[in-house]
Structure formats: C-alpha cells, structure tokens
Amino acid sequence: MKKTVAVLGGTGNEGPGLALRWAKSGRYEVIIGSRQAEKAERVAAELNQKLGQNLLRGLTNEAAAQAADICVLTVPYSAQGPTLTGLRELLQGKILIDVTVPLQPPKVSHVHVPPGGSAGQEAQAILGEGVRVVSAFQNVGAAHLAEGDSHIDCDVLVCGDDKEAKAEAIALAEAAGMRGIDAGPLRNGVVVEGLTAVLIGINIRHKAKGAGIKITGI
C-alpha cells in the first residue's frame, strides 16, 4: 500500500513543488495541508491541473497530519513552533520531516543558529520522543522544484536520529528527482540549515536563483 505524505503549509513556495513531484512519482498518496481548507483545496486543484490527473487533495493541517504516515513541514521559521505545538498530539507515532530554515530577516544570507541548536532539534523538543523528526530538503530551492519532474542537480542531506525515518526521507528525495544522503544525527542539521543562508548569499552575489549543493567522492 502507498504511504500517505502530508505537506503541512504546502501552499507556499517550497511545499507545492515537493508535493507535485511526490504525487507524480506514483509512489505516494499526497495531501496539501494549510491553515485554511479552501486554500489547501485550491492549491491541490492547481497541482492536479498541472498533472492532468486528480492525484492530490487539500485538507487543513490538522486533518492532513491525522491522515498521513509521513508529514513534511514547509512553513517559515517564525511559524514552525506554533504550528508544531498545535499539531503535537496528531503527530505522535509519525515521521515529521522538517524543511524549516531558521532564517532571521532581514539578513537572510547570514547563518542564524537558533536557541534550540537547530530548527530540527527545536521541532523534536516540541514534539517529544513519540515523533521521529528528520531534517531534509533545506538546500533545495523552490525554483528547482517547480521545474517539473526533471532530475534536480542537488543533493538532499538528511539528518535524524532514527535510521528508518531517514530512509523514508531519502526515498522521498529520490522520488522527487534528487539524491538523498544520510548526513548523520539530527544535531548535524544545524550545518545543513546554515548552508541555506550561505546559498542565498551566493545566489545574491551571482545573480542566480538556484545555487545548490552536491557531495562528491562517494
């Protein structure tokens, strides 16, 4: 049976591209989550139109979290804590893949280490040990994801303390057209999150949109 993946806050820049790729892969049932059911339904309908098939559905974040085996969080850092606090009970027993980058506007090209060590560790602290938190996809820009179903020339570094949960994230990276690499424990996510600020700075200096990272030598 296909696993169900819910993209919580999947109505913004980053979430829809991931959701579209996972739905198109045929390997997952995919739900778009939002604070508003109508917004989620609208984005799911737009993605279904792009696909030419009715593969995605839209629900509130709560209903999406309840229906999913794996939840992927794509909200701004300022919304991460409140969103996860509200979903804490519904996420127990599940895998939460955190895409959050703890950017601190206006200097979004400067690395910001949050008080909890990393956004991923802060997510784990809010959710407790009953949720297996993995951090991944922070270095993949929305512009690349929107390119459709083509392979993306970026690697996805996957950090987490549970091997099985990391394997699920690596499988999701592959289904979305990238290589997923186990990058160690959740605490290592601080480096991966920080790399996004570095990539934003590189994009600014090179007038580019899609700086990414590739691991060589393996």
Ligand X SMILES: NC(=O)c1ccc[n+]([C@@H]2O[C@H](COP(=O)([O-])OP(=O)(O)OC[C@H]3O[C@@H](n4cnc5c(N)ncnc54)[C@H](OP(=O)(O)O)[C@@H]3O)[C@@H](O)[C@H]2O)c1
Interface ranges with ligand X (CB under 6 A)? 9, 11-15, 34-36, 39, 74-77, 79, 82-83, 99-101, 103, 138, 140-142, 196
Q: How far is the CB of 2 from ligand X (least distance, A)?
A: 24
Shorter beta-carbon distance to ligand X: residue 102 or 166 = 102
Q: How far is the CB of 1 from ligand X (least distance, A)?
A: 28
Shorter beta-carbon distance to ligand X: residue 14 or 29 = 14
Sign of the Cα torsion 70, 35, 130, 185 reads positive
Q: How far is the CB of 139 from ligand X (least distance, A)?
A: 7
Shorter beta-carbon distance to ligand X: residue 124 or 138 = 138
CA distances from 78 to 23, 64, 156 (A): 28, 21, 23
Contact between 57 and 32 under an 8 Å Cβ cutoff? The reply is yes
Copy the structure tokens of residue 125.
């602290």
Shorter beta-carbon distance to ligand X: residue 23 or 123 = 123
When CB distances to ligand X are compared, the closest residue is 12
Locate all alpha helices (DSSP H) within the chain, ordered by sequence. 14-25, 37-51, 61-67, 77-91, 119-127, 142-145, 163-175, 189-206
Contact between 109 and 197 under an 8 Å Cβ cutoff? The reply is yes
Q: How far is the CB of 58 from ligand X (least distance, A)?
A: 9
Q: Distance between CA atoms of 29 and 47, rounded to whole angstroms? A: 14
Shorter beta-carbon distance to ligand X: residue 81 or 164 = 81
Q: How far is the CB of 34 from ligand X (least distance, A)?
A: 3
